[in-house]
Structure 1
Amino acid sequence: MPLQMKLSAITLDCPDPLALAAFYQQATGLEPHPESNADFAGLHREGEVFIGFQRVDGYRAPRWPAQTVPQQLHMCFEVERHLDEAEALLLELGAGRPDHQPHGAKARVLTDPVGHPFCIVARAD
C-alpha cells in the first residue's frame, strides 16, 4: 500500500525572499507567514500548499526552455479568468513571458520576477 503523502509545502530559491513572496502574494492572494524575513519568507492559507522563498547567495535564474541553468521546479496554477486577462495581470505584477509557448491555447508559460517558470491554465468548469 502506498504511503499516501500529501504535498504541504514548496520552497523556491531566490535572491530576495520578501520581494518574490510579494509577487506571489499579489498573484495568488495567499497570506504572508508572520515569521517571514529577509532570509526566508512564506505564503499560506488554511488547506493550501505553503509556498516558501529562501535566500540563496549567488542565485542563478533558470533559463527556460534551455537547460543551461535548469528550471529545477515548474508550478502550474489554475486561473478563473480568461488566460489573456490573467496573463496581462501577471505581466503587470512583474512576470515575464518567454517566446517558447509549447501548450498552444490551453496554457501559458510565464516566469516569475527571478526566472522560475510557471504555467497558468484555465480552470475547467
Structure 2
Amino acid sequence: MPMHMQLVAITLDCPDPLVLAAFYEQATGLELHPKSDADFAGLKGEHGLSIGFQRVDDYRAPSWPDQEVPQQLHICFKIEGDLEEAEARLLKLGAGKPNHQPHGDKARVLTEPVGHPFCIIRR
C-alpha cells in the first residue's frame, strides 16, 4: 500500500532569502514567518503549504529557456482577473519576462528576481 505523503513546503535556493521572500510576499499576499532570518526565510502558505528561501553561497541563476544552468524548479500560480494586469504588477515588483513564451495567451512565463522561472495562469 502506498504511503500517503502531504507536500508541506517548497524551498528555493537564493543569494538573499529575505529579499526573495519579500518579492513573493508582495506577489502572493502570504505572510512572512516570524523566525525568518538572513539564512532562511519562509512564507506561511495556504492549506499548510509554505514557501521557503535558503541562502546559497555562489548562487547561479537559472538560464531558462536554455539549460546551461538548469531551471531547477518551476512554480505555477493561478490568478484571478486579467493576465496582462497581473504580469504588469509582477514586473513592477521585480519579475523579469523572458522572450520565449511557449504558452501563447493562456499563461506567461516570468522569472523572479533571482532567476527562477514561474508561470501565471488565468484561473
Q: Distance in 1 between matches of 2:120 and 2:48?
A: 17
Matched positions, count: 123
Task: Report Cα offsets for 1:13-65 as digits up to 9, x if no partner.
Answer: 00000000000000000000010000000001451410000000000000000
Aligned residue in 2 for 1:100: 100
Q: Which residue of 2 aligns with 1:81?
A: 81
The secondary structure found in structure 1 opposite 2:105 is helix
- 2:59 is the counterpart of 1:59: yes
Structure 1 residues 117 and 46: alpha-carbon distance in aligned structure 2, compared to 1, 3 A threshold: closer
Identity %: 73
Q: Give the equivalent residue in structure 1 for 2:2.
A: 2
Structure 1 segments, 4+ long, off by >4 Å, are none
Q: Can you give the 5+ residue segments of structure 1 that lack an aligned partner in the other structure? A: none
The alignment yields a C-alpha RMSD, in angstroms, of 0.9
**Unmatched runs of 5 consecutive residues or more in structure 2:** none
Shift of 1:4: 2.8
Are 2:43 and 1:39 equivalent residues in the alignment? no
TM-score with structure 1 setting the length: 0.95
Partner of residue 25, structure 1: 25
